[in-house]
Structure 1
Amino acid sequence: MVAKLADRMLLSGDEAVALAAFNAGVLLGTGYPGTPSTEILEAFAALGGKAQWAPNEKVALEVGIGVAFAGGRSLVTMKHVGVNVAADALFTAAYTGVTGGLVLVSADDPGMASSQNEQDNRHYARAAGLLMLEPADSQQAYDFAAAAFALSEQFRQPVLLRMTTRTCHSKSIVTQTALPGPAQAPSFERNIPARVMIPAYARPAHHALRDKLARAAAYAENCAQTIVEPRSKALGIIASGVAAMHAREVAPEASLLQLGFSYPLPMQAIRDFVASVERCVVIEEGDRILVTELRAEGLAVEGKPERFRFGELNADRVRRILEHDDSPEAKIPGGKPPALCEGCSHRPVFEALNRLDCIVSGDIGCYSLGVLPPFTAMDTLVCMGASIGVGLGMRHVLPPEQAKRVVSVIGDSTFVHSGLTGLAEMVYNPPPTGHVVLIVDNGTTAMTGQQEHPGTGRTLLHDATGRLLFEDIARAMGIADVITVDPMASDVVLDDVLRQALDSGRLVVIVARRPCILAAPKIRQYERAAAEKRIGIAVRVDG
């Protein structure tokens, strides 16, 4: 089935993946919003595909695995650090394999435009034993995503589609083509040895996995994603992902081997290519993975200097690598630092934390900006949900006069994502001085573009659904002191609530609830629509 769109379109890589998923008959797209992956599911839903936000990436992947076990095609999306959350399920899914096509998009963020690290998720393919494709532009994002579903079914394995910020967000022409759908409709077939990973079944599954990878390596030698462009014999470049585009721009005369099928590697094709040129340079963004593997195979290839391991590559940096140019790079002019919006409900929270000289264990979200002036009111930030565990750790060992000042600050979407287990830890192993968790609830996943989450009571398409109430959850988990406050009501109210909680020596959860100032008009619109729908249903029932 082809979406009713023009044959040729200007699309971002994210939009191209969404279009391929729709045309390839994906039955469910699921994920957790995170830049630069967020727009994939939003675009898929806009096309008419069934898409949903999961509480976190692990749950998203587990749902996707379930779809694939049932014979359906599923698309799971997340940013690079989200794969860390999903890794437990991912590694085992490599052993169980799948029936329907399962594609996991890992959207990496070299240069950390909106992330806490710039990890290179090509490592995951090697560590878990999964096929990996890497598109370089939007057309390849469409073509490779389609190929990924077919390869997943052919090898009965999940496939990683690794993209980076540039391939996700840059736009280029995409020619839409009809894509083959799944070979069969969803249907459950019992296969206990393949899907129940107790040791007795996991041992042979590991052998089967290595056999699949060997067959995939043989397939990669001549597949459409292994792209050889023979030109000059003086210089050859091996690249994957967006690095191939930079290489084409900087050295159009050079021979190029683009490893679109980047794991397992087509080693014979690589050997033939290296042998065909006088000088061979590996251009790769992120860690020096390819050059290390090729040198381990005894191939005479050059890599990049250590300094180009950091940040994104661009045409100038690739030119420097090829020319051995060690001169200092021009400094990028500093832009305006990010800041909380004027009127943001997080502002009075950090002002109060600052006034009370709190030790703040922070978390991931737009409220992370509380670390910057004029607030400077965040002392730690590790990963999603870490605020509670880190805060508890400090409470356990700091001198009492310092321990009593520790507050864990976490957002509403982040709390659902991975704060629940931290709350369980707080109840199970309470510090002697108690602890205070402050949930800053602005009614949306603000930093990634105002997406919904289970605490809003609305689906990805903003329709009404079940809603998690944080106060009820906290009380159900055994916390007696649960307080709800409007952080914009007055500075005095928030200061008093925080001071009393810190002085109590008890376990306290404070929910500071006020809609995001940017999302509030939309939230009111969604709520009106839901109310009108309820009234319409009531009228039909009464009639």
Structure 2
Amino acid sequence: MKHVGLNVAADPFFSASYIGATGGLVIVSADDPGCHSSQNEQDNRHYARAAKVPILEPSDSEEARRFTRIAFEMSERFDTPVLLRLTTRISHSRSVVILKERVEHPIPRYEKGFAKRVLLPMNARRRHRFVEERTARLQEFSESFDENRIEFQDKGIGVITDSVAYQYVKEVLPEASILKLAMVWPFPDEKVKRFAGSVGRVVVVEENDPFIENEVRRLHLSPEGKEKIPILGELNPTVVADGLKIGFGEEDSPVVEGLPPRPPVMCPGCPHLGVFNIIKKLRLIAHGDIGCYTLGALLPLNAMDTCVDMGASVGTAYGMQLVSDKKTRKRVVAVIGDSTFFHSGITPLLNTYYNSGTGTVLILDNRTTAMTGHQGHP
């Protein structure tokens, strides 16, 4: 799922941490630095720490394959879900992948486990103790985990990095010493201390939030981080080089003119065009949702007033009807696609009906999940 999908799955995700995993349980979540197709830039590394589950971060396609296998092995070994965090750039790039022989695992026999799988308070308290003990064992594992590797070269500069940022550091500072963290939580405290004590200056290069940087500061170290590397947007070699040049005395890189922007538009012949033309003509207040029809908010249509998250259109429309005058209420509509309606639009519609709400819900049924994969749905 993408990063905001884990928000929807957060309730079972946190409970799964307590229950554990008899068989392997790996949650793949892809963050979207730069908001290429998302409503926020949230950093899902925080979920791993909050739910107390380990997280792995591949830096290329081969590591994505290999780390998936490692994640299942970790899940079964430590009785835990494992979060595999990708990013837009990892998911939309290609590199050499080394295939291995498929290993078949026998399906285990189901055994009842009331104390483990039924999270009544009496059981949850005991499982919490297990989670804390498991975290301590995962901490030890993180210290010796081979993928948390140190690459010593010039010890005047030491860079701590993760995910695709590792590739950018290798390109921009090929002679620097690097601590590449594949498992950023539980954090390998002692390995980080040893690395920091072996280099002159410590710099943290990571996308989005200063997750690693804050963990390093927790160890009473003073790394250079977000004062050089931006917290906003997606990193690339140019952004990293421009950020690090201040501290390393490099000359300013020339500014290269980019291509003119080409905002996306609805496809020619799209049936949604007629719907939004009518919404614009009638000057309706349209609460939109997540999907290709969100493009109705852009020019030349400019026919959508809000877009928050999947399923929000129906609830937002009902909420506005509650606080608006009679004339305004008649202009309020919710606009939602068929796949988003099945995803999370049914519950607010039931709530609207139960509370005798009025209004119009437009379900734009194009019989596919058009924006995110063309999967089938009911």
Cross-structure match for 1:503? none
List alignment gaps of at least 5 residues for structure 2.
none
Q: What's 1:139 paired with?
A: 62
CA separation of 1:145 and 1:122: change in aligned 2, threshold 3 A: same
1:110 correspondence with 2:33: yes
Equivalent residues in 2 for 1:312-327, closer than 5 Å: 312-324=234-246
Q: Is the 8 A contact 1:144 1:225 kept in 2?
A: no
Cα drift, residue 180 of structure 1: 4.7
Within 5 Å, give how 1:236-315 maps onto structure 2: 236-305=158-227, 308-315=230-237
Residue in structure 2 matched with residue 352 of structure 1 by the alignment: 278
CA offsets per residue over residues 188-246 of structure 1, 9 Å max, x none?
11111111111111011111101111101101112122121111111111001001111
Superposition pairs of residues 14-93 of structure 1, within 5 angstroms: 78-93=1-16
**Residue of structure 2 in register with 1:384 after alignment:** 310
Report the structure number with the largest CA radius of gyration. Answer: 1
Correspondence for 2:120 = 198
Q: Give a deviation string over 1:23-51, Cα, whole Å, max 9, x none.
A: xxxxxxxxxxxxxxxxxxxxxxxxxxxxx
* CA deviations over 1:378-398 (Å, ceiling 9, x no partner): 001000000000000001111
Return the letter of the residue paired with 1:366: C
Q: How far does residue 355 in structure 1 lie from its aligned partner after superposition?
A: 1.1
Cα offsets for 1:489-516 (capped at 9, x unmatched): xxxxxxxxxxxxxxxxxxxxxxxxxxxx
SS at match of 2:85: strand
Deviation at 1:307, TM superposition (A): 6.9
Q: How many aligned residue pairs are there? A: 374
In structure 1, the residue matched to 2:141 is 219
Provide the residue aligned with 1:445 in structure 2.
Answer: 369
Contact 1:247 1:318 in 2 (8 A): yes
State the alpha-carbon separation in 2 of the partners of residues 305 and 297 from structure 1: 19
The Cα shift of 1:318 comes to 1.3
Q: Within the alignment, does 1:185 sit opposite 2:107 as a pair?
A: yes
User: What SS does structure 1 have at the residue aligned with 2:95?
Assistant: strand
User: Which runs of 5 or more residues in structure 1 are unaligned?
Assistant: 1-77, 455-543
- CA distance in 2 between counterparts of 1:191 and 1:225 reads 34
CA–CA distance in structure 2, aligned partners of residues 261 and 335 of structure 1: 37
> How many Å separate the matches in 1 of 2:310 and 2:144?
41
**Whole-Å Cα distance in 1 between the matches of residues 274 and 163 of structure 2?**
44
Distance in 1, matches of 2:6 and 2:315, equals 20
Instruction: Assess, with a 3 A threshold, how the Cα gap between structure 1 residues 251 and 181 changes in structure 2: closer, same or farther.
Output: farther
Give the whole-Å Cα distance in 1 for the aligned partners of 2:179 and 2:329. Answer: 57
Q: 1:370 aligns with which of 296, 299, 304?
A: 296
Q: Deviations over 1:301-354 (max 9, x none)?
A: 111227711111111111123222797976744421100011000000001111
Measure, in 2, the Cα distance between the counterparts of 1:306 and 1:233.
20
Q: Secondary structure at the residue paired with 1:439? A: strand
Change (3 A) 1:160 1:365: same
Cα deviation digits, residues 404-435 of structure 1 (max 9, x gap): 1000010000000001101111111133xx21
Aligned to 1:492: none
> What one-letter code is carried by the residue in structure 2 that aligns with 1:173?
V
1:147 is paired with a residue of what secondary structure? helix
Q: Amino acid of the residue matched to residue 297 of structure 1?
A: L
Q: Any conservation in 1 of the 2:229–2:244 contact (CA below 8 Å)? A: no
* 1:262–1:381 Cα change, 3 Å: same
Q: Percent identity?
A: 48
In the aligned structure 2, how far is the partner of 1:371 from the partner of 1:131? 39
1:361 to 274, 281, 287: 287
Between the aligned partners of 1:379 and 1:316, the Cα distance in structure 2 is 36
Shift of 1:451: 2.1
CA distance in 2, matches of 1:189, 1:245: 45
- Which residue of 329, 335, 344 maps to 1:403? 329
Give the 4+ runs in structure 1 shifted more than 4 A: 325-332
Partner Cα distance (1:262, 1:92) in 2:
21
TM-score, normalised relative to structure 2: 0.96
Q: Secondary structure at the match of 1:216?
A: helix
Aligned residue in 2 for 1:101: 24
- Equivalent position amino acid for 2:365 in 1: D
Partner of 1:123: 46
Structure 1 residue 148 and structure 2 residue 71: aligned? yes
* Pairing 1:168–2:91 present: yes
Change (3 A) 1:259 1:400: same
What is the alpha-carbon distance in structure 1 between the residues aligned to residue 29 and residue 217 of structure 2? 26
Which residue identity lines up with residue 114 of structure 2 in the other structure?
Answer: I
- 2: CA distance between counterparts of 1:279 and 1:333? 37
| In 2, Cα distance between equivalents of 1:337 and 1:321 | 28
CA contact (8 A) 1:97 1:157 kept: yes
Return the alpha-carbon distance in structure 1 between the equivalents of residues 6 and 190 of structure 2: 30
Give the CA deviation at 1:442: 0.3
Change in Cα spacing, 1:307 to 1:223, as seen in structure 2 (3 Å) is: closer
- The alignment's TM-score, normalised by the length of structure 1, stands at 0.67
CA–CA separation in structure 2 for the residues paired with 1:353 and 1:306: 46
Question: In 1, are the aligned partners of 2:229 and 2:243 still within 8 Å (CA)?
Answer: no
| 1:340 and 2:266 aligned | yes
After superposition, the CA RMSD in angstroms is 1.6
Of residues 330, 342, 351, the one that matches 1:425 is 351
Contact 2:31 2:41 in 1 (8 A): yes
Change over 3 Å in CA distance of 1:94–1:198 after alignment to 2: same
Which letter maps to 2:52? G
CA deviation string 1:249-278 (max 9, x = no partner): 111101111110111111111110111100
CA distance in 1, matches of 2:102, 2:217: 38
Cα pair 1:304 1:321 within 8 Å, conserved: no
How far apart, CA to CA, are the structure 2 residues paired with 1:349 and 1:160?
Answer: 40
1:207 equivalent to 2:129? Answer: yes
Q: 2:359 aligns with which of 435, 445, 452?
A: 435
Using a 3 Å threshold, how does the CA distance of structure 1 residues 217 and 113 change in structure 2: closer, same or farther? same
